[in-house]
Amino acid sequence: MATELKPTVSFEESFEKLDIRVGRVTEVQLETGTRKPTYRMVIDFGKFGKRVSYGRFTQHPVDEVQGRLVLGVLNFPPKEMDGAVSEVLVLGVQYPKGESGEATFVSPAVDTRIGSKLF
């Protein structure tokens, strides 16, 4: 695990450029075409549309993911993952005691409006 911080950057050259918004998972299914277990999630970002994301959030049961509020980076380019294309990066952190890459969600603590911007 890294013990040093990355170099300091200004707000304007980093965080201000990211478009991170709240979305709600409207569909979720286990993707079997990837080399590791992955969920295919359709996420509704309100007026910013629906986007597909693939992520290793599989320690969470499907029924816990369905309807969940998540934070997603909307202005990254699509990323190919084992032949699947993820249109939005859903923010997460390492799942406790999970394999490398297994994640748990970074989510709002209370129900909030989809499409809201992280600030």
Give 59-110 pLDDT, tens digit per residue. 999 999 999 999 999 999 999 988 889 999 999 999 998 888 899 999 999 9
pLDDT at 35: 85
pLDDT at 23: 98
pTM: 0.91
pLDDT at 84: 86
pLDDT at 2: 67
pLDDT at 76: 97
pLDDT at 83: 82
CATH T-level fold of 17-105:
OB fold (Dihydrolipoamide Acetyltransferase, E2P) (2.40.50)
Q: What is the pLDDT of residues 6-51, one digit of tens each?
A: 899 998 888 899 999 999 999 999 998 888 889 999 999 999 999 9
| C-beta separation of 90 from 41 below 8 A | yes
**Residue 53: closest CA among 111, 34, 113:** 34
DSSP state of 108: -
How far apart (Å, rounded) are the C-alpha atoms in residues 114 and 119?
14
Q: Is the pLDDT of residue 1 over 70?
A: no
Instruction: Note the Cα 83 to chain centre separation in Å.
Output: 18
